[in-house]
Amino acid sequence: MSVISRPLPPSLRIMLLRVLVVTVAVIMVAQLWKLQFLQGEGFRLRANENRFRLVETTGQRGVIYDRNGHILVRNRPSFNIAIIPGTLPDDEAEAEAVLKRLEGLIKLSESDLPVHAADDETEETTAGPPKLGSSPPPQFRERMTVDQAMEEVNAGLQGGAYRPVVFAGPVSEETAFAIAEASYELPGVELVIEPVREYLSGTLTSQVLGFMGPIPQEYVDDYEAEGYRADDQVGLSGVELTFEKALKGQNGSRNIEVDVNGREVRTVGDIFPSEPGDNLVLTLDARLQALMEEALKKGLTQAKANTGVAIAMDPHTGEILGMVSLPTYDNNLFADGITADEYNELINDEQRPLLNHAISALYPPGSTFKIVTASAALQEGVIDERTRLGDSFDGRVDGMIYVDNRFFPDDPRYAQPFYCWIHAYGTGHYQVNVREALAVSCDVFMYQVAGGYRKTFEGVGIDKMDEYAEQFGFGDVTGIDLPGENPGLVPTPRWKRLTYAETWAAGDTYNMAIGQGAMLATPLQVLNATAAIANGGHLYKPQIVRQIVDVDGKVVDDFKPELIRDLPVDPDYVAVVQDGMWGAVNYPNGTAKALTVPGVSVAAKTGTAEFFDPNIELLPNNRLPTHAWITAYAPFEDPEIAVVVFVYNGGEGSATALPVAQDILRGYFALKNPPQPADPVDGEPAADQPAGPAEPGADQPALPVETVTAPAPADATTPAQGEGG
């Protein structure tokens, strides 16, 4: 018997449908209530996170001027292509496709290099102590592949999803605009514009200004402790390094609204406005700097030399008016990030262009050191200004003296000869006083006043010689605000015993008396000692910065002359040394008699320092090669400029360094008192023609100058005895 099912009544079906609809509605309402009231705040926050973004803003770095208001360093925009990990497509394949599309669009060239850490090979070649004085090496620009970019993106998602990861840069404006136009096809890709340094004076001031770069990895923690970001640019050399805190701008942040592709729509507001850094006004005169570089380059060319230094200073303040070290480099190479190959080429260059030879390289000072020897002998009462000593012994006048052998003092066969430079000409200086000895650069006179002569004459002695050398600033840094300054070496008996396991001999004192032996100094130390004689006996700290001013021109810090010490030499004795330097220029047989500046009285001391370098051949008769020195100041009556010129392997100071110093001094006084144009009516000079340096703020162009480069020998030398003026 079959059972016949009856259909539900229409009313029941309607009731069940209503129940179903109500149930679904209740569920939906409950879910909506949950989403809106229980989870609504969280969704709103997530929506705002996708819509609004906090971005960091970079504070502009301070500008650097010369003493007359010429801009030496300013900021310019740099274009980088960055990836925002949080706005890339979620699908990894799609994200990789975006990057490949971007890579194809950029068409990387040598000027459009992606930023990436140096590879292992580069790190190996640059490992070890930095070769930039005390400054760390920069990081390098290398190509970043798509795979490397994806690794950076994944790391970014773990750290800061909206922190830009630079994929390529700096890129040209043309490339940047092409990326901007294709932005709708490149979700997660952003054009980042950041300020970078532009060194308008280029090679002319690179040793003083230095350069910037990313914080080296080993220094990141130190900088972050000072409030820096790991990807900040910092000064790595020159005043960019020593005045980093003053120049650095304060970073800020702003809140922006972005669209669905992560592109900025508008700025909602500044949370913390960025602030520009302070500006520097240097003591340098860019016009004098250019003149000095040209003079030094000409001198190097004529001497067939590779390395040289020229420095000018105000002897009454210690302000550096010009500082040139050749060879040099273009610090604009570092502005956009330097490649590992470019950097390795610089640090492996035998000329050492990254080294500031003015403050970091050491050389025997030669006869320029005789101003210290003469001062010590006068102050210690070993001689007075009338004492006459000569190089005539046993009826001979041949520019030489003998030092008895300590083991056989009575046997002349074992006596050691010490020569004066004039010995090579078959004669001597006869009897001279201290003024004349300085003027003609008599070595034998200095031998005797420093080390004595047999039992007939007591010299200053090595202990006092060391003391006076240190009082004149040798053997210690001058304190100039530049990194990498070398303290030099003032040899002592203890130093020789520890270094060579040998006792000090009279010949060592003789060598030191004329700036030879183990005596080593920087050109800046020689200049500072000269300036102390020129100003009457006051040793000042050399200064490279005059003022720190804020963006509104208000002086934040005004650098005043800083006295290191007064020399332990009576003013009357300082005046005697001054007279000797004046005689070098004005006596008929003075070693600097060729130095002339029309209308200006000049004092000078030449130097010809022997040295040993295995890469340089000996001179005829197995004579050692020589460096050329001169140090001078003018006007003699009231000095306002002191200069030092050094030419590596340049021969005689009077022949090689002197013409360079002459060009510098003549140029300085020409800048100070430029010739006035004739009046168009009566031929007289125009009365309103300005004279002297331009006033601060003058809108004059910077003075970029090309560099001469050629192989240079090593800077650390092993000097030998004997020296010419």
- What local confidence, expressed as pLDDT, does residue 113 receive? 44
Going from the C-alpha of 598 to that of each of 221, 578, 635, 637, 669, the distances in angstroms are 58, 20, 11, 15, 9
As beta bridge partners, residue 189 has 83
Give percent of the chain above pLDDT 70.
77
Predicted pLDDT of residue 694: 35
C-alpha torsion sign, points 499, 500, 501, 507: negative
* pLDDT beyond 70 at 131: no
User: Phi/psi class of residue 619: alpha, beta or left (left: φ > 0; alpha: ψ in -120 to 50)?
Assistant: beta
Q: Return the sign of the alpha-carbon dihedral for residues 580, 305, 529, 597.
A: positive
* Domain span(s) for CATH 3.90.1310.10 in the chain: 52-282
Strands (E), 386-542: 389-390, 392-393, 396-397, 400-403, 416-419, 431-432, 538-540
Rounded Cα distance between 475 and 408, Å, is 34
CATH code 3.90.1310.10 for 52-282: yes
Question: How far apart are the C-alpha atoms of 7 and 648, rounded to whole Å?
Answer: 116
For residue 680, pLDDT over 80 is answered with no
Lowest-pLDDT choice from 37-46, 94-103, 501-510 = 37-46
CA atoms of 446 and 372, how far apart (whole Å): 10
Predicted local confidence at residue 721, as pLDDT: 41
- Amino acid identity, residue 196? V
For residue 422, give Cα distances in angstroms to 187, 282, 451, 579.
80, 43, 20, 22
Residue with tokens 């006179």: 445
If 0-12 CB within 10 Å is exposed, 13-18 middle and 19+ buried, where does residue 385 land? middle
Q: What is the pLDDT of residues 195-239, one digit of tens each?
A: 899 999 999 999 999 999 888 888 889 998 988 888 788 999 999
**What integer is the mean pLDDT of 167-183?**
76
Start-to-end CA distance of the chain, whole Å, equals 142
Class of domain 286-339+350-675+692-724: alpha beta
Longest CA pairwise span in the chain (Å)? 163
Query: Which tokens go with 444?
Result: 């034998």
Band of residue 697 on the pLDDT scale cut at 50, 70, 90:
very low
Q: Which residues of 102-127 are buried (b: 16+ CB within 10 A; e: fewer)?
A: bbebbeeeeebbbbbebeeebeeebe
pLDDT of the residue at 258: 66
Q: Is the peptide bond before 327 cis (omega within 30 degrees of 0)?
A: yes
Which of 211, 7, 214, 46 is closest to 117 using CA atoms?
A: 214
| Chain mean position to CA 22 | 81
Q: What integer pLDDT is reported at residue 555 of this predicted model?
A: 96
Tokens read off for 248: 């650095």
CA angle 420, 444, 455 (to 5 degrees): 140
pTM: 0.81
**CA–CA–CA angle 596, 366, 541 (5° rounding):** 80
Q: By the 8 A CB rule, do 311 and 324 touch? A: yes
Q: Please name the residues in contact with 44: beta carbons below 8 A apart, sequence gap of 6 or more.
A: none
User: Which of 283, 297, 362 minimizes the C-alpha distance to 526?
Assistant: 362
Q: What HEC string does 147-212 produce? A: HHHHHHHHHHHHCCCCCCEEEEEEECHHHHHHHHHCHHHCCCEEEEEEEEEEECCHHHCHHHHCCE
The pLDDT tens digits of the residues spanning 478-495 come to 999 999 999 999 999 999
pLDDT in tens, 414-464: 888 888 989 888 888 889 999 999 999 999 999 999 999 877 788 999 999
CATH 3.40.710.10 range(s) for the chain read 286-339+350-675+692-724
Rounded distance, CA 147 to CA 321, Å? 52
* Residue 44: other Cβ atoms inside 10 A: 11
Cα 332 to Cα 702: distance, rounded to the nearest angstrom: 14
> By CB neighbour count within 10 A (0-12 exposed, 13-18 middle, 19+ buried), where does 209 fall?
buried
Say what the pLDDT of residue 497 is: 97
Quote the mean pLDDT of the chain: 82
Other C-beta atoms closer than 10 Å to the C-beta of 177 total 13
Cβ atoms of 721 and 513 closer than 8 Å: no
The C-alpha atoms of residue 619 and residue 604 are separated, in whole angstroms, by 27
> What value does the mean pLDDT take over residues 501-515?
96
